[in-house]
Structure formats: structure tokens, C-alpha cells
Amino acid sequence: MKMKFTLKEFKDLGISAIVIGFVFAWIMRDASIFGRTNFLFIFTIMLIAVGTAFIFHELSHKAIAQRFGCWAEYKIWNMGLIIAFVLAIVGGFVFAAPGAVYIRAPIKWGQVSGITKRQNGLISAAGPIANLVLAFIFQLLTFGNGLIEVVGWIGFRINVFIALFNLLPFPPLDGSKVIEWDKKLWGLLILTTALLYIRM
């Protein structure tokens, strides 16, 4: 089943990725990456690492939701982007809540509309799982040399961080919906992610 997109959704995803890429780059602006401290260079690296982590996380939610016949669309949260930008510039720390995939279950005549706990759990688990898959792919790049190795390490760390944060069992994070449906799956995901995080 093909994912359905709107032009506005493409725009919202693009703007969100650019802003959070900038936020991470600003936090790391004084770091030396591959012997370079040029902000534009660091921003490009962050856009690759953070942008892919964020976009694949959200698109995984969308893909599973649409597989269950739901309407699913990513929508930007303008205030979240403004807060992220200001906190990075003024406070020097990352707050990344640029938007979310909004989901609505199909309405069937004579039935109560809604998604089951299982469906909601699977939709929610899809995002962190996508980040774990990306973390593995980026880790493969660490066996390369030079810039490829650096991009690999940054991408690996960011994806593990995003997966771990989203698996925390507090609403509205993904972890709260996964644990409500299947505590064993949540335990497996959080343990795997925590072990990878410790390895960082």
C-alpha cells in the first residue's frame, strides 16, 4: 500500500527537518567535526543525521497507520519550532517537538470509530523501531574512513537518543502507548535502546 501525501505535508516535514537540524548544529557549533568548525559544514552533517532520523520516525508512524486504514498526516507545530529555536540560541539545549503525525480512524456505518490498543501500540512502536534500524545503518558507516565514519557516529547517536526519548512511558510519547498494549515488547525495545545508549 502506497503512502499518500499532500504538498503541505512535504513542506511541513522539510521545514521541521531544517529547523531541528539547525538546532542540533547550533548546540554543536563549537565542536570540531573532521577537523572543521565551519557552521554550514556542521549544519549539513546534522541535516543528514537528524533530518533522516526525524523524517523516517514520522513516516513510519504514518505508514503503519495508513496500513490500518487510518487517515494519517504529519502536521507542523509552529510554536514547538519557535521554542526549539529560542531554547537552542538562548539556553543552549535541545528541545525537539516540531510536529507529529495526526491519525484518525476510519468511520464505518453502524460501528464505533477508533483504533484498537494493538493498532495504536504498533503505530507508536514503528517510530522508535525505525530509529533503531537507522542506528544500525549509520553504525555500518563507522567502519568507513574520514567523513563517512564521523557521519556514521553522529547518525548512530542521534537515532539512539531519539528512540530512547520516545520510548519513555510518559504520555504523549510513543512509549506510553506501546507499554499500554504490550509491556514485553516495550521492555524489549527500551532495553535494546538503553544498551545501545550506554555503548555511546
DSSP 123-167: HHHHHHHHHHHHHHHHHHHTTS-THHHHHHHHHHHHHHHHHHHHT
Lowest mean per-residue pLDDT among 36-45, 80-89, 167-176, 178-187:
36-45
pLDDT digits (tens, 9 = 90+) for 142-189: 998 888 888 899 999 999 999 999 999 999 899 999 999 999 999 999
User: Residue 94: CB partners within 8 Å, gap ≥ 6?
Assistant: 23, 24, 27, 84, 87, 88
H or E element that contains 104:
strand 99-104
Residue 2 included in any domain: no
Give residue 74's domain range: 7-106+114-199
Please determine, for residue 112, whether its predicted confidence score (pLDDT) is greater than 60.
no
CA–CA separation, 53 and 163 (whole Å) = 9
pLDDT digits (tens, 9 = 90+) for 13-30: 999 999 999 999 998 887
Residue 1 included in any domain: no
Residue 42 included in any domain: yes
Give the mean pLDDT of 52-66. Answer: 95
Residue 26 included in any domain: yes
Candidates 64, 28, 19; CA nearest to 157 is 28
Of 9, 58, 149, 180, the catalytic one is 58
Q: Does residue 180 carry a catalytic annotation?
A: no
Residue 184 included in any domain: yes
Residue 12 included in any domain: yes
Overall number of domains in the chain: 1
Q: What pTM did the predictor assign?
A: 0.89
What is the per-residue pLDDT for 167? 96
